[in-house]
Amino acid sequence: MKDIITLGIESSCDETSVAVVKNGREVLSNIINSQIKIHEKFGGVVPEIASRNHVEAISDVTKKALEEAKITFNDIDNIACTYGPGLVGALLVGVSYAKGVSYALNKPLTGTNHIEGHIAANYISHKDLKPPFLCLIISGGHTHLVHIQDYDKFEIIGRTKDDAIGEAFDKVARVIGLGYPGGPKVDKLAKEGQANIELPKTHIEGLDFSFSGIKTAIINLHHKNPEINKADLCASFEKYVTDILINNSLKSAKQLQINTIALAGGVSANSYIREQFLKLQEEGYKIYYPDPILCTDNAAMIASAGYYRFISGVTSGLDLNAVPNLKIGECLCQYMQ
């Protein structure tokens, strides 16, 4: 069977990334141009600035990806690009560039869901992982429990009712003065503290999540006592949200009668969350999560997800557009004739 080389393009937020992946799982290159330092002084991503930097970076990043993979454009079989969800201006840069490459090379284009890309990052890190399994997607914009029925079939079991978990991390970091990006800074400081601060419990029926209450509780605690031990506060916050994630994941796994749980998304790089999920192996669960570099936004995961869409017969036309609120499992592409 012929190898399929996919060029992945990711520009949904503040990383410009281009990757070359063989057969959906072997990464030949994965170049990531991060804008974190540019947005740090604003305390978060500024959409217009992100879009302009994508325009400036994407051609050079693509050139580096091809050089590192030791291939040329002519070796590409499929072009996968993120077309949602994300910031509309940022998405348009990657989509437009991908369409231009597809047209110039007369090669297939596959619009790819960013969140499905995060799931697919596990296929790169774990060659043995195959559907079905349960995936907990935890990022700055999403908190979902998804039943991965097949490579291109997804059922959402639970989701956040309000804030995504990554938003809660960033807000906590901002309130106590850690700055942006909040997740890694909260994780680092929490290692110096103890989870000894009592926080209010949020009660949600079913398998959904809610993080706005804990975020507000942390803000109120800090306002009432600015001298509160920040390391203890971070450790207590991490324990609180991790307990919720594990509790809902276990309930979902038992409901689906599945013993394989994968983590995905930027927050899955959190060391405490990983440690606590790994303890579930003692109860007979198989736990997977991507390598840290694949937890952040990157094009290798998009190439992997795009590959599985492509081999199932899905492609996109040159009328592909950015869809900032694209849902998991929603495919606005078309099937090849």
CATH code of the domain containing 320: 3.30.420.40
Same domain for 139 and 189: yes
Same domain for 82 and 38: yes
> Which among 131, 135, 134 is positioned nearest to 151, based on CA atoms?
131
Q: Is the pLDDT of residue 12 over 70?
A: yes
pTM for this structure?
0.93
The stretch 189-195 carries a mean pLDDT of 96
User: By three-state DSSP, how is residue 143 classified?
Assistant: strand
Q: Is the pLDDT of residue 199 over 50?
A: yes
Backbone angles phi, psi at 154, to 5 degrees: -130, 140
CB 108 within 8 A of CB 77: yes
Digit-coded pLDDT (tens) for 171-184: 899 889 998 888 99
Same domain for 159 and 58: no
Digit-coded pLDDT (tens) for 225-250: 989 999 999 999 999 999 999 999 99
Confidence of residue 335 (pLDDT cuts 50, 70, 90): very low
Residue corresponding to tokens 């990531």: 32
| Residue 125, domain member (yes or no) | no
Give me Rg for the CA atoms of the chain: 20
Secondary-structure percent of the chain, ordered helix, strand, coil, rounded to 5: 45, 20, 35
> Which among 186, 192, 189 is positioned nearest to 170, based on CA atoms?
186
Q: Is the pLDDT of residue 203 over 80?
A: no
The DSSP-derived string for 153-181 is: EEEEEEEBSS--HHHHHHHHHHHTT--SS
**HEC per residue, 262-310:** EEECHHHHCHHHHHHHHHHHHHCCEEECCCHHHHCCCHHHHHHHHHHHH
Number of domains making up the chain: 2
Domain of residue 328: give its range.
5-120+295-335
What integer pLDDT is reported at residue 37 of this predicted model? 80
The residue type of 189 is L
pLDDT averaged over every residue in the chain: 93
Q: Is the pLDDT of residue 311 over 90?
A: yes
| Residue 126, domain member (yes or no) | no
What integer pLDDT is reported at residue 322 of this predicted model? 96
The DSSP-derived string for 228-266 is: S-HHHHHHHHHHHHHHHHHHHHHHHHHHHT--EEEEESG
Digit-coded pLDDT (tens) for 124-178: 999 999 999 999 999 988 899 999 999 999 999 999 999 899 999 998 998 899 9
Q: Is the pLDDT of residue 102 over 70?
A: yes
| Residue 13, domain member (yes or no) | yes
